[in-house]
Chains A and B, each alone.
Chain A
Amino acid sequence: MQRFRRGLTGEGVGVISEEFEQAYIDELEEEFPNLQRGGYHPASSVADRPNCIGWALYDKHQFWDPSMIGVKGYYWPPDVAREDSLESWTKVFQIHGYQICENAELESDTEKIAIYATPNGVPQHVARQKSSGSG
């Protein structure tokens, strides 16, 4: 998908202990050993971590989820069906200015995102394409 304008921005949650922060980093490095080999560095606190939809839309403020009905503190656009489907997730990005694109090639004037889904169309993750072309 191609992105044409930015989404919302905001502040993250600020109540995380250093112990938990380190435990989270340890878990990440254990799960993804190539992180250390690639010389990564943590760019933000775990407290700032929105879920992937919010991150892809530059929204550090809200957690986006279609199914958290009746629990305040979570967000889903009112005009989008509250269902964990590829169609529903795609609609979210379309109302934020994205369009379906034909390929995943890097284009300097557009930003692309990828929605990862299971073979039966259940979305699992969203990632923004970096300027290097990787996810």
Chain B
Amino acid sequence: MEEQLLELPCIQHQRAEEWYSSHSEEPETILLSPREIFGELYQKDRARTAKIRRSSNWYPVYRPVVRHRLKASSRGESAIQRIFQELASSWKKDTLHISSLTRTAMHPAYQSIIGMGQAAIPLILRELQKNGGHWLWALHAISREDPAKPGDDFDAAVQAWLNWGRSRGYI
């Protein structure tokens, strides 16, 4: 079965030492559920666990990069798509009533999507195309571009990003 690797940034590993001591059976890998990764903000308990390969900057740094290994699902959906959908769903649910876009964008799931890097761009653009949402920050952070024009309102900026994605073959 196909396996994919992607990098996710983990934010504020306050229990990192505890996790490490309880998951150190394999020298260079640990098993964590997404709930453990994202802590209390990750409200739904996920049964699936992920194999995390320790990297030199994983512990005890607060914003480490870990490798997240998941098997592709039997439905043919890639691991990265599933992870994106889980993160996006969690982010939307947790930030439904938050007015501050800054606080919304600082949600761990949103930051984790940014941490997925270039691989997340087509997924974000498709989500933006289908359901809208405040994905411009993530697109800007990953691509380091901003195709919108100064003074564009939100709708115009969204259209600019979708056109940008089409011109680069992302969607």
Chain A interface residues (CB < 8 Å from chain B): 10-17, 20, 24, 27-28, 31, 46-47, 51-53, 61-63, 65-68, 70-75, 84, 124-126
Residues of B at the A interface (CB closer than 8 Å) are 93, 96-97, 99-102, 128-132, 134, 136-137, 140, 146, 148-158, 160
27 contacts between A and B (CB under 8 A): A11-B155, A12-B155, A13-B155, A14-B155, A15-B129, A15-B131, A15-B158, A16-B131, A17-B130, A27-B93, A27-B96, A28-B96, A46-B132, A47-B132, A61-B153, A65-B101, A65-B102, A68-B101, A70-B146, A72-B148, A72-B149, A73-B136, A73-B148, A73-B153, A73-B157, A74-B101, A84-B102
Most A-side CB within 10 Å, residue of B93, B130, B150, B153: B153
- Chain B residues whose C-beta falls within 8 Å of the C-beta of A51 in the assembled complex: 99-101
Given contacts A13-B154, A17-B131, contact A71 B137 (CB under 8 A): yes
Additional A-B contact list (19), CB under 8 Å, known A73-B153, A75-B153: A12-B155, A14-B155, A15-B130, A15-B132, A16-B131, A17-B130, A31-B97, A51-B100, A52-B99, A61-B154, A63-B154, A65-B102, A68-B101, A70-B146, A71-B136, A71-B140, A72-B152, A73-B152, A125-B99
Question: Known: A16-B132, A52-B99, A68-B101. Is A10-B146 also a contact (CB below 8 A)?
Answer: no
Bound Cα distance from A24 to B137, whole angstroms: 22
Given contacts A20-B131, A51-B99, contact A74 B154 (CB under 8 A): yes
Query: With the chains together, A102 CA to B97 CA distance in Å?
Result: 28
A73 lies within 8 A of B132 (CB): no
Q: 8 tightest CB-CB pairs across the interface, nearest first? A: A73-B157, A72-B148, A67-B102, A65-B101, A20-B131, A52-B99, A73-B154, A51-B99
What separation, in Å, do the CA atoms of A74 and B130 have in the docked complex?
20
For the complex formed, measure the closest distance between the CB of A17 and the CB atoms of chain B, giving whole angstroms: 5
Q: When the two chains form their complex, are residues A63 and B101 in contact, meaning their CB atoms are under 8 A apart? A: yes
Min distance, Cβ A31 to any Cβ of chain B, angstroms: 7
> A62 to B154, Cβ gap below 8 A?
yes
Shortest distance in angstroms between B164's beta carbon and chain A's nearest beta carbon?
12
Find out whether the CB atom of A72 lies under 8 angstroms from the CB atom of B136: yes
